[in-house]
Amino acid sequence: MKDQPITRADLLAALTQVLEEQPFIFAAWEAGSAAFGRADQWSDIDLMVDVADDHVDAVFQAVEQRLNSLSPINLIYEIPQPAWHGHHQKFYRLERASEFLLIDLAVMKHSSTDKFLEIELHGEPRILFDRAGVVAPPPLDREALAANLVARVDTLATTFDLFRILARKEINRGNALDALVYYQNFTLRPLVELLRIKHIPERYQFSLRYVNIDLPAKIYTRIERLAFVSNLNDLDQKHQEAVEWFFEVLDEVREQGISLSTSGD
């Protein structure tokens, strides 16, 4: 029925069919929440496509033609090139689908060596089809990661100690909004990064995203409490607590070292 909303299953079936019909597409898989088994009614579709290097535009053309046969596309956004991740990416919102059911389409040239497949970082890819053995998660380079983490801890120790006064300066001036911004960027975020390095170092770069999943519940609850402030006095107290907590964790990390997991399990 034309007036019925399009479901996630409808979209995945249609997209899988049109992608598999294109001989220049080698593989397609879902990433994001689906790769972690957490897709729900608010999840978008994170679709990854591996394609012959000279057929990137053809993938978007085929997808857009198929989507238009299902529903008018009422919004498209393309990540400007060169994108930070080195791939081509567009977002689509359909008139007949939930506003949450965006399609996040990343098209990766077959020659690309980084397809975001490390399980520790990106979850277990949900393969739609793979006719060239593309979707083979590589082992995480633990030696390189360990070296990066040691350097990162040193950087955090220096920059946190240097810039933690920015929030304090604006608190003293009574500039609540400036103080809040500095608190979030130069106190809370580095604190969370250091906590990640201690508890889940493989995902240290995910900032405040997935903290409720990645970190122990007790730590998440404390971060959540520190993240929400009611007024300047509350911010003053929470900034001081966050600063003290950072240096406590820093001492622990330096004393205990950084422990990487031994597998992608």
pLDDT tens readout for residues 127-136:
999 999 999 9
Residues of the chain with pLDDT > 90, as a percent, come to 94
Pairwise CA distance, residues 199 & 219, whole Å? 10
Q: Is residue 137 part of a domain?
A: no
Q: Are residues 204 and 166 in the same domain?
A: yes
CATH of the domain at 52: 3.30.460.10
pLDDT band at 73 (very low <50, low <70, confident <90, very high): very high
SS3 at position 164: coil
Domain range for 218: 142-256
Tokens 């290097």, residue located: 53
Final residue in a domain of this structure, among 130, 163, 197: 130
Q: Are residues 113 and 192 in the same domain?
A: no
CATH of the domain at 205: 1.20.120
Q: Are residues 184 and 111 in the same domain?
A: no
- Predicted local confidence at residue 264, as pLDDT: 38
The domain tally of the chain equals 2
- Predicted local confidence at residue 2, as pLDDT: 60
Final residue in a domain of this structure, among 70, 103, 130: 130
Q: Is residue 243 part of a domain?
A: yes
Q: Are residues 121 and 164 in the same domain?
A: no
**Taking 60 as the threshold, does the pLDDT of residue 17 lie above it?**
yes
Q: Is residue 264 part of a domain?
A: no
Q: Are residues 193 and 233 in the same domain?
A: yes
Which pair of tokens denotes residue 73?
A: 């596309």
Q: Is residue 3 part of a domain?
A: no
Q: Are residues 111 and 201 in the same domain?
A: no
150 close to 258: Cβ distance less than 8 angstroms? yes
pLDDT (tens digit per residue) in 186-216: 999 999 999 999 999 999 999 999 999 999 9
SS3 at position 237: helix
131 close to 112: Cβ distance less than 8 angstroms? no
Q: Is residue 123 part of a domain?
A: yes
Backbone angles phi, psi at 73, to 5 degrees: -90, 115
- Predicted local confidence at residue 63, as pLDDT: 98
- Comparing CA positions, the residue from 184, 199, 177, 178 lying closest to residue 238 is 184
End-to-end CA distance of the chain: 43
- Predicted local confidence at residue 265, as pLDDT: 35
Between 264 and 120, residue with greater pLDDT: 120
Q: Is residue 261 part of a domain?
A: no
Q: Are residues 14 and 124 in the same domain?
A: yes
- Predicted local confidence at residue 39, as pLDDT: 94
pLDDT (tens digit per residue) in 30-57: 999 999 999 999 999 999 999 999 999 9
pLDDT (tens digit per residue) in 140-182: 999 999 999 999 999 999 999 999 999 999 999 999 999 999 9
Q: Is residue 147 part of a domain?
A: yes
**Taking 60 as the threshold, does the pLDDT of residue 263 lie above it?**
no
Q: Are residues 113 and 154 in the same domain?
A: no
Final residue in a domain of this structure, among 84, 105, 130: 130
Overall average pLDDT of the 239-247 stretch: 98
- Predicted local confidence at residue 235, as pLDDT: 98
Q: Are residues 110 and 149 in the same domain?
A: no
Q: What is the pTM of this model?
A: 0.88
pLDDT band at 4 (very low <50, low <70, confident <90, very high): confident
- Predicted local confidence at residue 193, as pLDDT: 98
Q: Are residues 122 and 148 in the same domain?
A: no
Q: Is residue 63 part of a domain?
A: yes
